[in-house]
Amino acid sequence: MTTKERRMKQDMLFRWCCRIVTFMALGVLLVLLSHIFSQGFKWLSWDFINSYPSRFADQAGIKSAVWGSIWVISFTAIFSVPFGVATAFFLEEYSNSNSKFVRLLQINIANLAGMPSIIYGLLGLTLFARGIGLGGSVLTGSLTLSLLILPVIVIASQEAIKAVPNSIRYGAYAMGARKWQVIVGQVLPAALPGIMTGVILSLSRAIGETAPLIIIGALSYVAFTPLGPFDDFTVLPVQIYNWAGRPQEEFHEIASAGIIVLLAVLFTMNLVAIMIRQKFQKYRM
Amino acid sequence: MSKPIIQVKDLSIFYGEKKAINSVNVSFSEKQVTAVIGPSGCGKSTLLRSLNRMNDFVENLRVEGEVLYKDQNIYAPKIDSADIRRQIGMVFQKPNPFPKSIYKNITWGPQINGYDFDPDALVEKCLKRAALWDEVKDRLDDSALALSGGQQQRLCIARAIAMNPEVILMDEPCSALDPKATSRIEDLILDLRNRYTIIIVTHNMQQAARISDETAFFFDGDLIEFGDTKEIFTNPVEEKTEDYITGRFG
Amino acid sequence: MKSSIVIDNVFKSVLFLCVAMTLLVTATVILILGTESFIFFQKVSIFDFLFGLKWEPLLEPKSFGVLPLVAGTFLVVVGAIALALPAGILIATYLSEFASERSRSFIKPALEILAGIPTVVYGFFALTFITPVIRTVLPQTEVFNALSAAIVVGVMILPMVASLCDDGFRSLPRSLKEGAYGLGATTFEVIRYILIPASGSRIGAAVVLAVSRAVGETMAVTLAAGATPKLTANPLESIQTMTSYIVQVSMGDTPRGGIEYMTCFAVGALLFVMTFAMNFIGNYFINKMKWEQA
């Protein structure tokens, strides 16, 4: 075999490796989804969604978990979005990216984005649950998750703000606008689709979070729906964890059913994010 | 020649250490079209942007000397730069309509500045003056980004007019447009010259000759020659001007 | 319009307060973990904590050697990286070098979906699917084992590794690649001798960030790897990681304020120090390259 033939063979082999590994990764996704569907699909019913958890798998449902998730995520959005977007605007519009302080801020935000979620749990437990005395309430959960997704929202919003061309800012200044008017009147609306996409994706991350909520004391058995922000709660992922940890096969199956509901919510959110992105990409700025 | 509305006195502009404008003295007359010409990099855009303080947004830029607008130095400390920009509008090289409806592009400026106005009437008036009304009157709520490049640029002119400025600065407004769109903008400029003072930077000498009353020729940060457009194009005093307008460099 | 000048300043200050809050979050985390562990280390020597070989804080006689938890974490992380790094590089190569526009258009979203699946779902998948498969092949495997957790954590960080490597390849000038192809190099040679060495620091940063992510991963290891703190290199045995210990304590009825409870914060502090250091290094390198390009 000549060197050339050997090199060609090696290249072919390499190309096939790349292809196979890529499709194996997609295969894992398919296996995961089909495993969960085959286990859980038969348990899906209106009763399942509209019943409280139970000691008996066939009577158990996710009503309290679904309502808990809705409560927690709504408050999370209220707390995190304004702060995250404001932070992004300060970094992009008011600060000089060459200054040491701004670089420190930027690295700090990237670090926060990579901080293990369980540490946010310890933070929430000490600061909100015990420090302010909110206990294992909806408020504690959403404040904790807000801090968790804050850096993600900041980073996504920064990207969206960066994508707004400077010519729009200059055009607005040339009309005698002040800086805040340029930002609120032009940059924010122009960046809004991108920001919304980022916000939806980070909220979908918050919906799937489990560990920090276990740490702050979200209960695993809740037979009521929260009526206000100070009530105790559970969320869907915690409920799933609880069922997954039991030895009985039926509980694994209803855990799968819970996962199907959770994934359906997440995929819907992703779809909405993609649709927003595409709708506003029609006109390039 | 009518009386000057903007007088530039001993103006020097630095980018960091580099001098982009070298103690320039020039006056721009009221209700006239003045063309600023010269090879690229000669500082003509820098000069234009210093007339309404758009240079404030450039980092490391330093201005020395004075720009008098109606006998008041716009670089004086007590001057509010936003206020200057309200009176001296600007049209940019690349059309940059706001990503909003055509209607809102016109009303946004007067609105944020707290002008008292009738929006429908204003939109109609400005679009008519900018010779755009007939093309867009049925779709005022469409996105401005759906317009063609030439239409976008006329919208930007209409938007500047909406602020009711005394002066409109134009920074190579046709350089991104095709010949047909260019000639429409040129016609428009000729229409507007009785109402506004227009200062236009252009790299197109025929354009300068066609539309301007006076011409300033810049080279390497210096004002080489300034005077009546006909004079400059037919009988330039300086050798450099002649070389440039006859196409020997630039 | 003087009022709008005032608004300008107020607006800027409000935005600045939000930015300051991000620093405050980091500071608070350090403060909380610092004070709680300080109290803990007054009762347990820091030396015994860091170098002790036995972690039995809930049993009498108590011992607080964190090494078994670190070793358990290490076992999972090494396995996950061994899976995700080569696979990530191969996927990044496929995407940037020879995937058609059509296959890119569904592979990228599929990887995003993979990255968006909650970790508890991965944990459940490891426990109910991967572990049974492993046990069919290797019957001596325990029900809870490090291997299953390592595989699933590897899958979890794969999209992140692939996309960071992809960014790395893309950040290189085209001329570099084209020059090599022009000399008749094969794709394999271009990747092996040009792209990987030239984007080495990027890939390095990606690995550091991925390790940090794997170290902090919680639910998958809690569900799949077990709760047996043990110094072992055998991935088929049940182990316990730092994160799953914290969950275990939080789930149980260990009294608040007790020493067992404080161990949570001591372990959390160690976890924070490790991930913070890695994130800082990784993000510093990635940002530095961005700044230099700008």
Residue B116, domain member (yes or no)? yes
Q: Does A22 touch chain B (CB under 8 A)?
A: no
According to the model, what pLDDT value does residue C181 have? 87
Tell me which chain A residues have a C-beta less than 8 angstroms from the C-beta of C250: 121, 214-215, 217
Chains that touch C (3 or more CB pairs under 8 A): A, B
Return the residue matching tokens 């293990």.
Answer: A116
* Count of pairs with CB atoms under 8 A, one residue in B, one in C: 6
Q: Is B129 among the domain residues?
A: yes
Listed residue (B222, B223, B176, B173) closest to B199, CA to CA: B173
> Which subunits have 3 or more CB–CB pairs within 8 Å of chain B?
A, C
Based on the fold, state whether residues A19 and A52 are members of the same structural domain. Answer: no
- Which chain B residues touch A170 with a CB distance below 8 Å? 54, 57, 92, 96
Q: Along the 294 residues of chain C, how does pLDDT read in single tens digits?
A: 556 778 888 998 999 898 999 999 999 999 999 999 999 999 888 888 998 888 888 777 888 899 999 999 999 999 999 999 999 999 999 998 888 888 888 888 889 899 999 999 999 999 999 999 999 999 999 999 999 999 999 999 999 999 989 888 888 888 888 888 888 888 888 888 888 888 888 889 999 999 999 999 999 999 999 888 988 889 999 999 999 999 998 887 667 778 888 899 999 999 999 999 999 999 888 877 777 765
Query: Contact at 8 Å (CB) between C219 and A210?
Result: yes
Can the peptide bond before residue C197 be classed as cis, meaning omega within 30 degrees of 0?
Answer: no
Rounded to whole angstroms, the Cα distance separating B126 from B113 reads: 17
The dihedral region occupied by B60, where left means phi > 0, alpha psi between -120 and 50, and beta the remainder, is left
Cβ pair B96:A171 closer than 8 A: yes
**Inter-chain contact C5–B113, Cβ cutoff 8 Å?**
no
Q: Over pLDDT 70: what percentage of chain B?
A: 99
Q: Cβ contact (<8 Å) for A107 and C280?
A: yes
C294 close to B (CB below 8 A): no
**Cβ distance B93 to B172 under 8 Å?**
yes
Query: Which chain C residue has its CA at the smallest distance from A83's CA?
Result: C18
Q: Is residue A225 part of a domain?
A: yes
Among residues C214, C259, C274, the alpha carbon closest in space to that of C57 is found at C259
Domain assignment present for residue B164? The answer is yes
* Contact (CB, 8 A) for A103 and A37: no
Per-position DSSP letters for C12-73, written without gaps between them: HHHHHHHHHHHHHHHHHHHHHHHHHHHHHHHHS-HHHHHH-S-EETTSSSPEE--HHHHHHH
The band of B246, judged by pLDDT with boundaries at 50, 70 and 90, is: confident
Residues 6+ apart with CB under 8 A from B177: B149, B150, B153, B185
Instruction: Give buried/exposed letters for B93-107 (b at 16+ CB in 10 A, else e).
Output: bbbbbbbbbbbbbbb
Q: Do B112 and A190 touch (CB under 8 A)?
A: no
CATH number, domain containing residue A241: 1.10.3720.10
Instruction: Report the residue of chain A nearest C97, measured CA to CA.
Output: A15
Residue with tokens 């307060």: C17
Give chain B's mean pLDDT: 92
Chain C residue with CA closest to A212: the answer is: C247
Mean pLDDT of A267-272: 92
Q: Above pLDDT 70, what percent of chain A? A: 98
Is the residue at A211 inside a domain? yes
Report pLDDT for A282: 57
pLDDT at B5 over 70: yes
Task: Identify the pLDDT of residue C67.
Answer: 94
Which among B85, B145, B146 is the nearest to A285, CB-wise?
B145
Say yes or no: A37 and A102 in one domain.
no
Interface probe with A: pick from B86, B93, B96, most Cβ of A within 10 Å: B96
Tell me what pLDDT residue C294 has: 59
Chains that touch A (3 or more CB pairs under 8 A): B, C
Min CA distance, B230 vs chain A (Å)? 31
A173: closest CA among B176, B159, B41, B173?
B159
Residue A194 within a domain: yes
3 state SS of A247: coil
Range(s) of the domain holding residue A38? 3-43
The reply to whether residue A259 touches residue C213, judged by beta carbons under 8 angstroms, is no
Residues in C 116-155 with any Cβ partner in A closer than 8 A: 116-121, 123-125, 127-129, 155
Residue B250, in any domain of the structure? no
Q: Do B109 and A190 touch (CB under 8 A)?
A: no
**pLDDT per residue over B73-113, tens digit each?**
999 998 999 999 999 999 999 999 999 999 999 999 999 99
| CB contact (8 A) between residue B99 and residue A170 | no
Same domain, A275 and A163: yes
C168 is written with which tokens?
A: 């790395």
Contact A174 B113 (CB under 8 A): no
Q: Write the CATH number for B73.
A: 3.40.50.300
Show the CA angle centred on residue B89, arms to residues B46 and A283, nearest 5°: 90
**Candidates B56, B59, B78, B80, partner chain C, best to mutate (most C CBs within 10 A):** B80
Tell whether A285 is covered by a domain: no
On whether both A143 and A228 belong to a single domain, the answer is yes
Q: Where are the alpha helices (DSSP H) in A90-178?
A: 100-114, 117-124, 138-162, 166-173
Q: CB of B173 within 8 A of CB of B201? A: no
Q: Residues A91-130: pLDDT tens digits?
A: 999 988 778 888 889 999 999 999 999 999 999 999 999 8
In-domain check, residue B187: yes
Domains: count for chain A:
2
Q: Say if A144 falls within a structural domain.
A: yes
Q: Mark whether A72 and A18 lie in a shared domain.
A: no
CA distance C60 to chain A (A): 25
Residue B40 is part of which domain span?
4-245
- The 10s digit of each residue's pLDDT in B43-63 is 899 999 999 999 998 888 999
Give the pLDDT band (50/70/90) at residue A283: low
Interface of C with B in 5-34 (CB under 8 A): 5
Amino acid at A121: G
Q: Which residues of B touch C11 (CB under 8 A)?
A: none
Do A34 and A117 lie in a common domain? no
User: Is residue B249 over pLDDT 90?
Assistant: no
Are A230 and A156 in a shared domain?
yes
> Do the Cβ atoms of A115 and C216 come within 8 Å?
yes
DSSP labels, C243-287: HHHHHHHHHTTPPTTSHHHHHHHHHHHHHHHHHHHHHHHHHHHHH
C-beta atoms of B82 and A178 within 8 A: yes
Q: pLDDT tens, A45-86? A: 988 888 888 888 888 889 999 999 999 999 999 999 999 999
